[in-house]
Structure 1
Amino acid sequence: MNKVTYREDHDLSGVNSLEELKEMALPCKRCALRAGCTGVVFGEGNPNARLMLIGEGPGADEDLQGRPFVGKAGQLLDQILAAINLDRFTHTYIANVVKCRPPGNRAPRPEEAGQCLPWLYRQIELVSPDLIVLLGSTALQNLIDPEARITKMRGQWLVSKSGIKIMPTYHPAALLRDMNKKRPVWEDFQKVRDEYKIIAEG
């Protein structure tokens, strides 16, 4: 299992709950993304979840509803979770690299992600999951390695310095564009299911 380090530097260590963190994040204007979106999409799910899912950023549906993964990609993610007997609200906490929608659903720029990542790092610390699934290359590159390629690293367990097991896989939106990615993602989530069972039964 590959040992990895993701940047965990932030100035939010004094924030002791997700609700408090959300209240601080909602008016955030650290980068230009906030000016072009409806609002901050903070994240949602079980605050004590053993499994955390991290995507790229809000799309149009997410921006309008203020919730992560509610569009077509989110509906597919719900189906994938259901297939491994997990419910997003009961068993997972879901967040994104950036919390404001990039124009035209483009990938966030490094400077935009850099301003937003401290919120995510504190979310990870507060949820304290045993497992993290990184959905897509943006999550992989921002949390693990800017040069990492999802095609090469998906399906491999990584482990953070704090002991969290991390599984990179394709973003559900990629499956909607390329049906050939469905089988690899299913294989990856079966590994997640098996690891989750071990943790839950332990």
Structure 2
Amino acid sequence: MLKSLDPRVTRLNLPDGEVPNMEPKQELDQFETYEAFHQKKDGAAFTYVGPVHAPNEDVAFLFAKEQYSRRFACVGLWIARTENIMVTPYVGDTESVYDMIAIEEPAERSAEPEKYEIFHLKKRGKAHTHVGRVSATSYQEALQEAKQQFGEKPPVVNVWVVKSKHILQSAEEDKDMWFTIPEKKYREATAYKVMDKITKYKAENNNATV
């Protein structure tokens, strides 16, 4: 049922829910793909805004901030590596993908439950939106929990499932990074407080290009 959002992982034909430990490539051989979600205002759900390519999740966060928060005002940002996002099949705009999921009797758990974040796509052409968090021991179990908790309001065209620990989240105390200095126009790139992080990254990675 579930497949990775990253087609390179899907092509490995792994059992449902299993994410491989990919063999490391040479340093900066090619950038990984990350997916970005932003929060438009306090209390609003995090919504998918697009992908970025970066050497690690910290730089992915910076790239996503520059790429997407300049286009859309926001107060928070989540970053997840593409390969860690599990995806259901798609159904029609008037259907619910949860109708394809059979609720199974809970098996005896051999592992401690983890937190998973659930994102719904309500209509093709729109963006996946965060609907809540569940506790489970696998991606498949997380999807079943999501069906019980969030599956009563169709349509749900598609569902993304990702472990909470695999999401890099902007910190509450860093909210000033979204504000511009008074003498600059809103959304002007030079007004965002990220140059110190970029300078630090360059200092630590002399051969890296950002």
TM-score tier, shorter chain, comes to under 0.3
TM-score by length of 2: 0.26
TM-score by length of 1: 0.27
Structure in which a larger fraction of residues adopt helix? 1
Structure in which a larger fraction of residues adopt strand? 2
Larger Rg: 2
